[in-house]
Structure 1
Amino acid sequence: MKYIKHIYLFFLFLPLLLLSQEKGIIEIQNNSDIARNEAIVAIKWETILSYYPQIDTTNFIVINSSTNKQIPYQLEHKGLPEIQNLLLQLSVKAKSTVRLSIKKGKPNPIEIKTYARFVPERKDDFAWENDKIAFRTYGKAIENTNEDAYGFDVWVKRSTKMVINERYKLGNYHKDNGNGMDYYHVGHSLGAGNMAPYVKDTIRYSANYHGWKVLDNGPLRSSFQLIYDTWNAGGIKVNATKIISLEAGSQLNRVENVYTFEDSKPMPVVVGIIKRPEEGVISLNEQKGIMGYWEPTVKEYGTTGVGVILTTTIKNMLVNKDQLLAVAEVKNDEPIVYYTGAAWDRASKITNSEQWLEYLNRFYKEVKNPLVVKVK
Structure 2
Amino acid sequence: MKLKVNTLIFSLLLIMIFSACENNPSKKIIIENKSDINYESKVVELPWDKVAAQYPELDLANFKIVEAVSKKELSFQLEYAGNTAVKNILVQVSLNVGSAIELAIENGKPSEVNSKTYGRFVPERFDDFAWENDKIAFRMYGKALELRGKGNAYGIDVWVKSTDKLVINERYKRGKYHVDNGDGMDYYHVGHSLGAGNIAPYKSDSIWYSKNYYQYKVLDNGPLRTTFQLDFEPWMVDGQEVTATKIVSLDAGTQLSKMEITYSFENVEPLPAVIGIIKRPEEGGQELFKVEDGILAYWEPTHGDDGTTGVGIIIPSKVSNMKLRNDQYIAEVEVSNNEPFVYYTGAAWDKAGVITNQTQWFEYLDTKKQELLNSGIEISFKSE
* Secondary structure of 1:196 counterpart: strand
RMSD (Å) for aligned C-alpha atoms:
1.8
* Secondary structure of 1:166 counterpart: helix
* Secondary structure of 1:32 counterpart: coil
Amino acid at match of 1:44: P
> How do 1:1-376 and structure 2 match up within 5 A?
24-143=27-146, 145-146=149-150, 148-278=152-282, 279-370=284-375, 371-376=377-382
8 Å CA contact retained: 2:30, 2:380: yes
Query: How far is the alpha carbon of 1:100 from its aligned partner?
Result: 1.4
Query: How far is the alpha carbon of 1:301 from its aligned partner?
Result: 0.6
Amino acid at match of 1:375: F
Amino acid at match of 1:374: S
Deviations 1:154-205 (A, max 9, x none): 0011111111111111111111111111100001100000001111221110
- For the residues of structure 1 that align with 2:314 and 2:102, how far apart are their CA atoms? 31
- For the residues of structure 2 that align with 1:296 and 1:131, how far apart are their CA atoms? 24
8 Å CA contact retained: 1:23, 1:51: no
8 Å CA contact retained: 2:137, 2:158: yes
Amino acid at match of 1:291: L
Query: How far is the alpha carbon of 1:28 from its aligned partner?
Result: 1.2
8 Å CA contact retained: 2:152, 2:211: no
Shifted more, 195-204 versus 65-74: the winner is: 65-74
8 Å CA contact retained: 1:193, 1:272: yes
The match for 2:12 is none
- For the residues of structure 2 that align with 1:109 and 1:366, how far apart are their CA atoms? 30
8 Å CA contact retained: 1:157, 1:344: yes
Show structure 2 runs of 5+ residues with no match: 1-16
- For the residues of structure 2 that align with 1:108 and 1:350, how far apart are their CA atoms? 32
Deviations 1:319-357 (A, max 9, x none): 123111001111100001000000001111111101111
8 Å CA contact retained: 1:123, 1:139: yes
- For the residues of structure 2 that align with 1:260 and 1:321, how far apart are their CA atoms? 28
- For the residues of structure 2 that align with 1:234 and 1:215, how far apart are their CA atoms? 33
Shifted more, 327-336 versus 145-154: the winner is: 145-154
* Secondary structure of 2:234 counterpart: strand
Number of residue equivalences: 360
* Secondary structure of 2:71 counterpart: coil
Query: How far is the alpha carbon of 1:146 from its aligned partner?
Result: 4.1
* Secondary structure of 1:94 counterpart: coil
8 Å CA contact retained: 1:156, 1:343: yes
Shifted more, 209-218 versus 101-110: the winner is: 101-110
- For the residues of structure 1 that align with 2:213 and 2:152, how far apart are their CA atoms? 12
- For the residues of structure 2 that align with 1:155 and 1:50, how far apart are their CA atoms? 42
8 Å CA contact retained: 1:148, 1:187: no
Shifted more, 283-292 versus 89-98: the winner is: 89-98
- For the residues of structure 2 that align with 1:182 and 1:104, how far apart are their CA atoms? 44
8 Å CA contact retained: 1:197, 1:204: yes
Query: How far is the alpha carbon of 1:68 from its aligned partner?
Result: 2.5
Deviations 1:233-286 (A, max 9, x none): 111211110000001011000000000111111111110000011221100101
- For the residues of structure 2 that align with 1:124 and 1:247, how far apart are their CA atoms? 23
Shifted more, 254-263 versus 96-105: the winner is: 96-105
- For the residues of structure 2 that align with 1:326 and 1:27, how far apart are their CA atoms? 39
* Secondary structure of 1:255 counterpart: strand
Query: How far is the alpha carbon of 1:375 from its aligned partner?
Result: 2.4
8 Å CA contact retained: 1:31, 1:369: no
Amino acid at match of 1:215: L
Query: How far is the alpha carbon of 1:23 from its aligned partner?
Result: 5.8
8 Å CA contact retained: 2:44, 2:91: yes
Show structure 1 runs of 5+ residues with no match: 1-14
8 Å CA contact retained: 1:32, 1:94: yes
- For the residues of structure 1 that align with 2:174 and 2:308, how far apart are their CA atoms? 24
8 Å CA contact retained: 2:28, 2:68: no
The match for 1:12 is none
Deviations 1:135-159 (A, max 9, x none): 0000001116346411000001111
8 Å CA contact retained: 2:62, 2:110: yes
